[in-house]
Amino acid sequence: MASLYHPDGYFSDPVFTALTAEEAGAMWTMLIKRAKGNLTIDFHSIEENDDVISAVWEAKYTFSKTDRPVHNVIKTKMTIEDGKIIIHEDRFDFWKWSRMALGTPGILMGWTPFLKKKVRKQAQQSLYQFMTK
């Protein structure tokens, strides 16, 4: 994935917001490296309209911080420029994800801005630590 981003590329999803191409590439590398060997990814509903590609992809994995199983359904939209991804936006139900990944805290607070902000901050810190190694 890292090699598919345009140098001026942008990535955003409910957890990792407003990443540069370099950060997005590092995020994908980090997530794959931290997968516990049971990561599966399936794509479907792929559509291409001029320079915009949309699809649904499903990731099944064990969330590394809690060892809880996750089946996340993501709607993606990518805008292509010069054969590379210039804008990549993923959407998924954060509350649903947090219930699977975090368990009780996600069930009770996954819908709140407080938990979303906390998860985003932790994810951003993890990414920056990964990038500086």
CATH of the domain at 97: 3.10.450.50
Global pTM? 0.90
For the residues 96-119, what does the mean pLDDT come to? 96
Which of the 8 DSSP states describes residue 18?
Answer: S
CA-nearest of 90, 73, 75, 82 to 28 is: 90
pLDDT class of 118 with cuts at 50, 70, 90: very high
Tokens of 43: 């794509």
Tokens of 41: 């990814």
Which of the 8 DSSP states describes residue 93?
Answer: -
Whether 50 has a pLDDT exceeding 90, the answer reads yes
Domain count, the chain: 1
Strand partners, 10: 20, 87
Whether 114 has a pLDDT exceeding 80, the answer reads yes
Q: Which residue has the tokens 């368990």?
A: 103
Print the domain residue range for 71.
2-132
Q: What is the pLDDT of residue 41?
A: 95
**Strand, helix or coil for residue 34:** helix
Output the CA–CA distances (angstroms, integers) from residue 115 to 61, 112, 126, in the order listed: 21, 6, 16
Instruction: List the Cα angle 46/60/22 in 5-degree steps.
Output: 70
Q: What is the pLDDT of residue 34?
A: 86
pLDDT digits (tens, 9 = 90+) for 52-100: 999 999 999 999 889 999 999 999 999 999 999 999 999 999 999 999 9
Q: What is the pLDDT of residue 37?
A: 78
For the residues 102-116, what does the mean pLDDT come to? 95
Q: What is the pLDDT of residue 55?
A: 98
Tokens of 10: 């942008």
